[in-house]
Structures are given as C-alpha cells and as structure tokens.
C-alpha cells in the first residue's frame, strides 16, 4: 500500500475518533469510548507507517 493511502486512512480514523469522542460523555459510555481509543490508536499507527516513506523536514 502506498504511504499516501496510509495517510488517508489515518486522517479518516482521526475524524471518526474525534466524532466518537464527542459522544463519550466523559468516557462514561463504553461504545463511543472504545471507538475513540481504537480510532486514535489506529490513526497513530497508520501515520507512523506513512511517515516511513513520506519525506518531512528539511
């Protein structure tokens, strides 16, 4: 898979997790809380895979 595909997946997962975070009600609701945690974890993982190949910095 191309690094830009991993980046796109990371962006989508971050948006999903952020929307789920609004529904957690202070992490008192299990479903949205689990979705938020899994979404952010997946987003960071995909971002790490993408940054292996995408040049950043100078």
pLDDT value, residue 57: 85
CB of 36 closer than 8 Å to CB of 17: yes
pLDDT value, residue 21: 93
Q: How far apart are CA 18 and CA 10, in angstroms?
A: 12
Residue 44 lies in a domain: yes
pLDDT value, residue 17: 97
Q: How many domains does the chain have?
A: 1
- For residue 23, the enclosing domain spans 3-50
Residue 29 lies in a domain: yes
In a structure prediction context, what are the per-residue pLDDT tens digits for the chain, which is 58 residues long? 999 999 999 999 999 999 999 999 999 999 999 999 999 999 999 999 999 999 988 7
CB of 13 closer than 8 Å to CB of 46: yes
Look at the chain and count its residues. Answer: 58
Residue 40 lies in a domain: yes
CB of 14 closer than 8 Å to CB of 44: no
Q: How far apart are CA 22 and CA 45, in angstroms?
A: 22
Q: What is the pTM of this model?
A: 0.89
């Amino acid at each position: 898979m191309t690094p830009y595909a991993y980046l796109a997946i990371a962006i989508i997962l971050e948006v999903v997790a952020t929307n789920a975070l609004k529904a957690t009600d202070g992490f008192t609701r299990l479903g949205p809380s689990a979705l938020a945690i899994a979404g952010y974890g997946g987003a960071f993982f995909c971002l790490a895979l993408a940054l292996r190949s995408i040049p950043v910095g100078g």
